[in-house]
Amino acid sequence: MKNCGAFMIRCAYIIKPPHFFNRVIVGVRNPRKVMRIFIFLFVFPLLISCGYEGDGKIVKVEGPWPFSDEFLELPKFSFQTEEVQKFSLRGLDFPEYSYVILRLLSDSSLPFHQLNTNVELRIFGETDVTHFYRNSPLNSHYLRMVQTQKTEWPKENEWNARYSYEEIGISLQAVPFSTNSEPISVHDIKYSHRLPMSDDLRVEIIIGNVPKNFEGTEAQLVIASYWK
């Protein structure tokens, strides 16, 4: 894995250009150089991820060229009481500020705004410096807004979820919340937070008490890199 980038670049110098390249670059002063540029553009998505040695897999979602989003999808695990999971992000080369997303997925629709399970998530480096930390009930932000009857941004220690409402306008708000209606039950939900990146990060997540009606739910951590 460490040498795959060098291997592919070397291939760009060895591979004979296909016939359609010859037609495209007829009349170009240095056709072989142009061919190498074409090949590099094709293998570039692999080059940027081939050095990753940690857990999970990197998925690239193409947008209008040359823009794209990248996601590191860590292995799914059971969202169950006292579940502990540890992951390595060794070799992950994402921008300085990316996002960490906690996804919960269920086969049946669930009222996630009622989920008060305490989740502790710590992301730290080799020198044990903490880059991200949360340790609070998943719905603490929602319950605070219900108590104050105000739409407010989540605080530093609160999980940031986007709840869905029957009224589309509410769901599209910067912070979806209504004093007149509750969120609807859904099959999945995401809690998203900004993550300062560094080399060779490690992840530890601890799940607290899970209510009976949420048993069987799956969880997944995703590191996301978005183009701005």
Q: Residues near 111 by Cβ (< 8 Å), separated by ≥ 6?
A: 182, 183, 185
Instruction: Name residue, tokens 């209510």.
Output: 211
Q: Are residues 113 and 142 in the same domain?
A: yes
Burial of 126 (0-12, 13-18, 19+ CB in 10 A): exposed
Flag whether 70 is in a domain. Answer: yes
pLDDT of amino acid 49: 46
Domain hosting 34: range is 4-47
Q: What is the pTM of this model?
A: 0.75
Q: CA–CA distance from 8 to each of 4, 15, 17, 60, 182 (Å)?
A: 6, 10, 15, 19, 53
Q: Are residues 34 and 69 in the same domain?
A: no
- Pairwise CA distance, residues 133 & 154, whole Å: 14
- Element at 106 (helix H, strand E): strand 97-110
pLDDT of amino acid 123: 95
pLDDT of amino acid 96: 82
Cα four-point dihedral sign 145, 150, 154, 156: negative
Q: Are residues 30 and 63 in the same domain?
A: no
pLDDT of amino acid 7: 46
H-only helix segments in the chain: 4-14, 19-24, 31-47, 140-148, 168-171
Flag whether 82 is in a domain. Answer: yes
Q: Which 3 state secondary structure label does DSSP give 120?
A: strand
Q: Are residues 168 and 140 in the same domain?
A: yes
- Pairwise CA distance, residues 193 & 160, whole Å: 7
Q: Tens digit of pLDDT per residue, the chain (228 long)?
A: 444 544 444 454 444 555 544 555 555 566 666 556 555 555 555 554 457 888 999 998 877 666 778 899 999 999 999 999 999 999 888 888 899 999 999 999 999 999 999 999 999 998 889 999 999 999 999 999 999 999 999 999 999 999 999 999 999 999 999 999 999 999 999 999 999 888 889 999 999 999 999 999 999 999 998 764
Contact 34, 17 (CB under 8 A): no
What is the count of structural domains for the chain? 2
Flag whether 52 is in a domain. Answer: no
> The domain that contains 152 carries what CATH number?
2.60.120
Q: Are residues 113 and 184 in the same domain?
A: yes
**DSSP-derived secondary structure letter, 15:** S
pLDDT of amino acid 42: 53
